[in-house]
A and B are shown apart, each in its own frame.
Chain A
C-alpha cells in the first residue's frame, strides 16, 4: 500500500564492509539460564534461520541446545552446512522473541541475523543515511 508511515524507534549505523557498508541490528540475547549477552549482528536476508553465531559465542547458549536429531542443515553454494542448534530469547527494542541460534558443526562460524527473526520485525533500511532502524507502523489517522 502506498503512503504508509513508519516511525523509526532504534537506529544503528551501518558498518564498513569490503566495498559497501552493511546494515546491522543490536539485540540482547538470553540463554535458558537467564544470563544475557548484547550483540550487534549484520542483517542477512539470504540466511533463512534466526541467528548464526561464531562457535565461541554459541557455547553461551548450550544450556538450551536442541537434541542432535533436531539440528538443522543449510543449503549453500558450496554444499550443505550442518549446524548445532540451541534455543534463546532475543530482546529487540521492547519486544521478546523465542529464537533458535546456530553455529556450524564444523568450522568457526560468523554472526548474522536472518529471515526467521527479521520477518518478525518492522525494519527501515535507510541506505543513503546508512542507518538501519527498528520501526513501528503508524496507522493512518
Chain B
C-alpha cells in the first residue's frame, strides 16, 4: 500500500534514509522493520514508563535512603537496600519476575556528560 506522511522532522528522516541505504534496505523495508521493532518493544517500554513514573513520584522521599539502592518494579517502590545482593534477592522474590526495574543509588546516580573520542555508531 502507499503511505503519505506529513510533518516528519526533516533531519530525522534524512538520517533514517541514510541508515536504510547503509543497511542495504529500501525505504519501505526500513519503515516496516522500524514498525516491527516499535511494536515489539511496546510492552517493555510500558514497564519502563511505569517504573520511571514511580521513581518520579517517590523521588523526594528517597533522601532518607541516601547511599542505598532504591528499587522500583511493577510500577511501584519495592524498597531500599544497602547492597546489590539484597537488591537481587528483592527482585527475585517478586512475582511475576520483572523484565525491567529502576535501581538508583540515592544521592550518587546523577547522569552527566562524558567523552568518547571519535565515537561512532557504525558497527
Contacts and interface: CB of A to CB of B under 8 A. Distances in A.
Interface residues of A, number: 37
Contact of B84 (A76, A78, A87, A104): A87
B69 to A, nearest CB: 8
B96 interface: no
A47 interface: yes
Contacts, number: 112
Given A66-B104, A89-B84, A98-B84, A48 B92 contact: no
Contacts of B99: 62-63
Given A72-B111, A87-B103, A33 B116 contact: no
Most buried by B among A66, A81, A110: A66
Contacts of B48: 62, 65
Nearest to B88: A34
A75 B116 CA distance: 6
A68 interface: yes
Interface of A: 32-34, 46-49, 59, 62-78, 80-81, 85, 87, 89, 98, 104, 107-110, 114
